[in-house]
Chain A
Amino acid sequence: MSEAHYHEDHGAVAGAPLVELVDVRAAYGTIEVLHGINLSVPQGSVVALLGPNGAGKSTILKVVSGLLQPTSGEVRLAGRVVNGASADELARIGLCTIPEGRGVFPNLTVRENLWMATMAGVSLAEVEEIAYARFPRLGERRKQLAGTMSGGEQQMLSMARALSVNPSVLLLDELSMGLAPLVVANLYEIVAQVSQEGVSILVSEQFARTVLGIAQYAAIVLHGNITRVGTPAELEDELSAAYLGS
């Protein structure tokens, strides 16, 4: 499948893709949950995966991050096929994933959590500097166990990792889950800022409004398929249909 042809399929998406999924199928046990996903994230853009519960958004992110190996199809990172690479290998070459729920180690302190981020190849001093500058709250609580902090603070901690490891690709899974709208807005401001630094971002969201403000492209995921890809404006109508079933 040539690249040109590939882009024709998805009309809206242009620019050199940094992350590409080609006909990816994935399964939990014997149950297939992704039935041939085609998607590309152009360099420096924010692509939002939208869809209801259980549609397969998180599974797509798991496949990209290397936590789940696809049963067929290709995952490409900067044009190279990375099927079979483990999540930690991908993490060390610049893929940063913030998983669903809070991406923190509850029994480690804030500082120790940040220390874990240095495995991607930055120094602890650097990580701490960036993290505490952006989130002074974390600086005050560097010796507190992450599990004892509020949901918003925990999400700040996981975002601090995304900010400081200087990734080329950022994967965000349900950033808004269980958080107050104000906190969510705040977090997405940071996402936008990261994006402006040239990081390619793939984000899954159940609640589309917040993320559409910063996304260049969105893909609607339903029953393990991507049913539409387009700019937020193009998808306006279909979105409400996908959620509300008009």
Chain B
Amino acid sequence: MQTFLQYTILGLALGGAYFIAASGLVVTYTTSGIFNFAQGAIAMLAVFTYWQFRWGWGWPAPLALLMVLGILAPLLGAVLYQVVMKNLRGTSEVTKIIVSIGVMLGLQALATWVWNPTSSTPRQFQKFFGPKAFAHVGSLTIPWHIIISFGIAIAIAFGIRFLFVRTRSGVAMRAVVDDPELLQLNGGRPERLAMISWAGGSFLAALAGILIQPMIGSAMSAGALTLLVIDAFAAAMFGRLRSLPRTFMGALIIGLTTTYVVAYFPSKWTWSSAFHNSLPMIFLFIVLLVLPQDRLRGATVLRLRERFRMPSIRTAWIAGLTMMIVVFCLKVIMAKTGVNTLTLALTFAIIALSLVLLTGFAGEINLAALSFGAIAVMVVYHFGISGTGDGARTTLWGILLAAVVTALVGALIALPALRLRGLYLALATMAFGVFVSRMVLTERNERELFGWKFTIFTAGQLTIPRPKIGPIDFNSQDAFLFLCAGLFVVIGIGMVYLRHSGYGRRLTAMKDSPAASATLGMSVVRLKLSIFMMSAAIAGIGGVMMAAQVGTVNADRFDIFLSLALMMITVVGGIGYVSGALFAGIFLIAFIEALNLLLKKFAVDYSTLEAIFMFFISAVTVLPATIGITMGKNPSGAVSDIVDGMNLVKQSKPLMITVIGLEAVIWALTATEVITNWNFVVLTLANLILVPMVGGKLLMARAMRGVPKPVPPELIGIDRPFTDEDLAAMDHALNLESVVIPSSTTVREEPANASA
């Protein structure tokens, strides 16, 4: 009984802290419509900052609390809103999710940069009034920290309720979600309210972090604290991101279950610690399963800022062929490490293709692409390898089986969220990703079930050999490079075909308006399920290729943060395009790697400036996140901009010949080792960027006179007004006699005939 009470109180306190974090989510979501994935990262940053003040610099607790909770946390929230989140009105759910994930990754990289996790002295975070401050209630001994936590949670619950119901500003915050424009017409300031709510949400996150960290008791870890947010997600979901009382209930249930599992599960079950860590994920999953179906929506997504043009099938073939040639040319001049990096980048690009298919084509979101890769790798490891030692090869059947299994797992994961909006599917996949990391990839020991002995993630690392398909052995690095490049091209072209098919059009229709699709008689659920399975299978194949490139993979290779970064960079590259996936793979693996190498080389070459270059090396870790955050400004992706820039080259034959010719010369010089690879990179960049720029200037005069950039027909009326030529062309296409639409001047003179 004593134990039960003790653990119940602990569970209530933990639940209380979860509630505080969750209420912050509800507050920001309620006022700005943005689900803040960075909530956990803000909590994490607050914990580290508080530690710095309190124990790093030895400030007294009240001063450190005032500084973190009173000033820094609200400031961070307000700045986040003003600089980043404000720009997200009118963007799709994907962009909103990606930007807040960018913030999350950025804060995490920042914390790792400032507070080096490998530093020798472990950082200890203590309870309020120290570890020995206990209150004695009856026969129970309870740490004051626990009592304080629960007390604060209750105070916050009542405080927020009071704010939202009894104060005009609070009611106005709710009004912002309903209709910001109408609130403005009432004389309210929606932007200011949203900013205040972000400051409040950030404060709540920081408070939750400072309360939870000593309860967990382990060493401070940026990753673990950031993922704490999922526990809060689950609680917030319980209240459907609206109801605070239900969020409170959900948080308490999670807190209590977690502590009861710790208390009562036999310690001989080696998986019970992994289980208690995964509980919030399981809980989130169950909540998603029982949430009532969302209203199908159509009208609100009409005016999105994202636009993707569909490449023609011919373009796809040309691009694929070009890519194979470029890969070949690069292989000839590259060092072995370069070829390795390029291959790895291509395997990631294949995984990113799964995201393009799912998000770009169908508007659904998967935040755990690499976890599907992990599933596939496990299948291949157990069932898809023939031969041993150096002769071991991954079989084609193994890869196909892995694809089928990942597709089925994908279906299982997507099933609960299919009836719900994209955000919920994103959360379900993220929960799945963390679940895989915490529960599946930690299954290193042999288990026995009904007499069948097996291990899931054997010894914590799996060795995946290169594949052998039919008579062709892809064991050599070069052969494997071409396999990956070929696979990317084949899947990519296949996706363009798919996009042009009736199925692809149905996907686009569903993305634009699920409601309209449903009324046309399409089965939205079946469509979503099939696309999710297909996407999971591609992620699986990519994962297997990635493992085969690396050789031996451990759990870190499938980290949820890597999945998130890949998703984010794919969106940056252009989630609607196959080229966006290529961009993601190249950027995330090859570009970052090259940038690091270059900076390290500089640091060695110019040792007096070493400190500056080391700073930039750290800055590179924050770079992807920074780029992700800027998505709000250009939601259609970077690649489309680059392609638009290249259009000039495409339109002018002399320019194209110049660029290609110069590139051939540069390549030939490198291949004959007249110039080094570094020079090749620099010259190539100069050639691709400067020549079109200079050439563009020269051609500008002609461009001014000549044809404006063509607008695809579906965007006429959006990108530019209809002209008389457009109307004539339409009339012609529809076989109509030309209808004369009166221009504004004729209307003025003859109003009576205007609408004739």
Partner of B188 from the list A31, A106, A116, A223 (CB cut-off 8 Å) is A116
Asked if B742 is at the interface of the complex by the 8 Å CB criterion, the answer is yes
Bitwise, A94-127 to B at CB < 8 A (1) or not (0) is 0011010001111110001001111111000000
User: Which residues of B are found within 8 Å of A222, using beta-carbon distances?
Assistant: 747, 751, 754-755
Asked if B172 is at the interface of the complex by the 8 Å CB criterion, the answer is yes
Partner of A241 from the list B168, B717, B742, B751 (CB cut-off 8 Å) is B751
Q: B182 to A105, Cβ gap below 8 A? A: yes
Q: A120 to B171, Cβ gap below 8 A? A: no
Closest A residue by C-beta to B30: A107
Closest B residue by C-beta to A67: B181
Closest B residue by C-beta to A121: B187
Partner of A106 from the list B178, B186, B187 (CB cut-off 8 Å) is B178
Partner of B187 from the list A31, A52, A67, A92 (CB cut-off 8 Å) is A92
A52, A91, A117: which has the most chain B beta carbons within 10 Å? A91
Q: B175 to A116, Cβ gap below 8 A? A: yes
Q: A245 to B753, Cβ gap below 8 A? A: yes
CA distance A99 to B178 in the complex (A): 14
Number of A positions contacting B (CB below 8 A): 45
Asked if A86 is at the interface of the complex by the 8 Å CB criterion, the answer is yes
Partner of B751 from the list A67, A92, A96, A242 (CB cut-off 8 Å) is A242
CB distance from B466 to the nearest CB of A (A): 52
Q: B185 to A103, Cβ gap below 8 A? A: yes
Q: B181 to A119, Cβ gap below 8 A? A: no
Q: A227 to B182, Cβ gap below 8 A? A: no
Q: B744 to A228, Cβ gap below 8 A? A: no
Is chain B's interface secondary structure helix, strand, loop, or mixed overall? helix
Asked if A59 is at the interface of the complex by the 8 Å CB criterion, the answer is no
Known: A119-B186, A161-B186. A238 touches B751 (CB 8 A): yes
User: Which residues of B are found within 8 Å of A130, using beta-carbon distances?
Assistant: none
CA distance A112 to B748 in the complex (A): 46
User: Which residues of B are found within 8 Å of A32, using beta-carbon distances?
Assistant: 721
Q: B178 to A67, Cβ gap below 8 A? A: no
Q: B184 to A67, Cβ gap below 8 A? A: yes
Partner of B744 from the list A35, A92, A112, A117 (CB cut-off 8 Å) is A35
Q: B755 to A117, Cβ gap below 8 A? A: no
Is chain A's interface secondary structure helix, strand, loop, or mixed overall? mixed
Of residues 22 to 52 in B, which have CB atoms within 8 Å of A's CB atoms? Answer: none
Asked if B752 is at the interface of the complex by the 8 Å CB criterion, the answer is yes
CA distance A15 to B184 in the complex (A): 30
Q: A227 to B747, Cβ gap below 8 A? A: yes
Closest B residue by C-beta to A62: B181
Asked if A224 is at the interface of the complex by the 8 Å CB criterion, the answer is yes
Closest A residue by C-beta to B168: A115
Known: A30-B719, A31-B717, A115-B168. A228 touches B185 (CB 8 A): no
Q: B172 to A87, Cβ gap below 8 A? A: no
Closest B residue by C-beta to A113: B175
User: Which residues of A are found within 8 Å of B190, using beta-carbon distances?
Assistant: 88
Asked if A216 is at the interface of the complex by the 8 Å CB criterion, the answer is no
Q: B755 to A245, Cβ gap below 8 A? A: yes
Asked if A45 is at the interface of the complex by the 8 Å CB criterion, the answer is no
Bitwise, B162-183 to A at CB < 8 A (1) or not (0) is 0000001001101101110111
Partner of B186 from the list A31, A120, A225, A242 (CB cut-off 8 Å) is A120
Asked if B756 is at the interface of the complex by the 8 Å CB criterion, the answer is yes
Asked if A220 is at the interface of the complex by the 8 Å CB criterion, the answer is yes
Asked if A29 is at the interface of the complex by the 8 Å CB criterion, the answer is yes
Known: A115-B171, A223-B742, A225-B747. A238 touches B752 (CB 8 A): yes
Closest A residue by C-beta to B756: A245
Known: A99-B181, A107-B177, A108-B171. A91 touches B186 (CB 8 A): yes
CA distance A35 to B752 in the complex (A): 19
Q: B754 to A88, Cβ gap below 8 A? A: no
Q: B751 to A220, Cβ gap below 8 A? A: yes
CA distance A115 to B748 in the complex (A): 45
Partner of B748 from the list A30, A86, A227, A241 (CB cut-off 8 Å) is A227
CB distance from A226 to the nearest CB of B (A): 9
Asked if A65 is at the interface of the complex by the 8 Å CB criterion, the answer is yes
CB distance from B50 to the nearest CB of A (A): 36
Asked if A246 is at the interface of the complex by the 8 Å CB criterion, the answer is yes
Bitwise, A221-246 to B at CB < 8 A (1) or not (0) is 01111011000000000100111011
User: Which residues of B are found within 8 Å of A225, using beta-carbon distances?
Assistant: 744, 747-748
Known: A88-B189, A103-B182. A31 touches B721 (CB 8 A): yes
CB distance from B241 to the nearest CB of A (A): 13
Closest A residue by C-beta to B242: A107
Known: A30-B720, A245-B755. A224 touches B744 (CB 8 A): yes
CA distance A32 to B172 in the complex (A): 33
Known: A223-B754, A245-B755. A99 touches B171 (CB 8 A): no
CA distance A27 to B185 in the complex (A): 20
CA distance A86 to B191 in the complex (A): 12
Known: A30-B719, A227-B748, A246-B752. A117 touches B186 (CB 8 A): yes
CA distance A126 to B29 in the complex (A): 32
Asked if B698 is at the interface of the complex by the 8 Å CB criterion, the answer is no
CB distance from A99 to the nearest CB of B (A): 6
Asked if B449 is at the interface of the complex by the 8 Å CB criterion, the answer is no
Q: B182 to A99, Cβ gap below 8 A? A: yes
Of residues 499 to 539 in B, which have CB atoms within 8 Å of A's CB atoms? Answer: none
A32, A67, A116, A242: which has the most chain B beta carbons within 10 Å? A116
Of residues 429 to 450 in B, which have CB atoms within 8 Å of A's CB atoms? Answer: none
Q: B184 to A88, Cβ gap below 8 A? A: yes
Q: B181 to A87, Cβ gap below 8 A? A: yes
User: Which residues of A are found within 8 Å of B742, using beta-carbon distances?
Assistant: 223
CA distance A223 to B174 in the complex (A): 37
CB distance from A68 to the nearest CB of B (A): 10
CA distance A108 to B753 in the complex (A): 46
Of residues 719 to 756 in B, which have CB atoms within 8 Å of A's CB atoms? Answer: 719-721, 742, 744, 747-748, 751-756
Q: A67 to B168, Cβ gap below 8 A? A: no
CB distance from B508 to the nearest CB of A (A): 22
Asked if B718 is at the interface of the complex by the 8 Å CB criterion, the answer is yes
User: Which residues of A are found within 8 Å of B177, using beta-carbon distances?
Assistant: 107
User: Which residues of A are found within 8 Å of B755, using beta-carbon distances?
Assistant: 52, 222, 242-243, 245
Of residues 57 to 94 in A, which have CB atoms within 8 Å of B's CB atoms? Answer: 65-67, 86-88, 91-92
Closest A residue by C-beta to B185: A97
User: Which residues of B are found within 8 Å of A161, using beta-carbon distances?
Assistant: 186
User: Which residues of A are found within 8 Å of B744, using beta-carbon distances?
Assistant: 35, 223-225
Q: B186 to A116, Cβ gap below 8 A? A: yes
User: Which residues of A are found within 8 Å of B751, using beta-carbon distances?
Assistant: 220, 222, 227-228, 238, 241-242
Q: B178 to A105, Cβ gap below 8 A? A: yes
CA distance A49 to B186 in the complex (A): 22
Closest A residue by C-beta to B746: A223
CA distance A52 to B717 in the complex (A): 20
CA distance A241 to B183 in the complex (A): 38
Closest B residue by C-beta to A158: B182
B171, B177, B183, B184: which has the most chain A beta carbons within 10 Å? B184
List residues of B whose CB falls within 8 A of some A CB: 168, 171-172, 174-175, 177-179, 181-190, 717-721, 742, 744, 747-748, 751-756
The 4 closest A-B pairs by CB, nearest first: A119-B187, A91-B187, A227-B751, A105-B178
Taking A105-B174, A242-B751 as known contacts, 14 extra A-B pairs with beta carbons closer than 8 A to each other, sorted by chain A number, are A29-B719, A88-B189, A88-B190, A99-B182, A105-B175, A105-B183, A107-B177, A115-B171, A116-B186, A117-B186, A119-B188, A223-B742, A223-B754, A224-B744
Contacts A/B (CB < 8 Å), 23 sampled: A31-B720, A31-B721, A35-B744, A66-B184, A88-B184, A88-B186, A88-B188, A88-B189, A91-B185, A104-B182, A105-B174, A106-B178, A108-B171, A108-B175, A112-B175, A115-B168, A115-B171, A116-B171, A119-B168, A161-B186, A238-B751, A241-B752, A245-B755
List residues of A whose CB falls within 8 A of some B CB: 29-32, 35, 52, 65-67, 86-88, 91-92, 96-97, 99, 103-108, 112, 115-121, 161, 220, 222-225, 227-228, 238, 241-243, 245-246
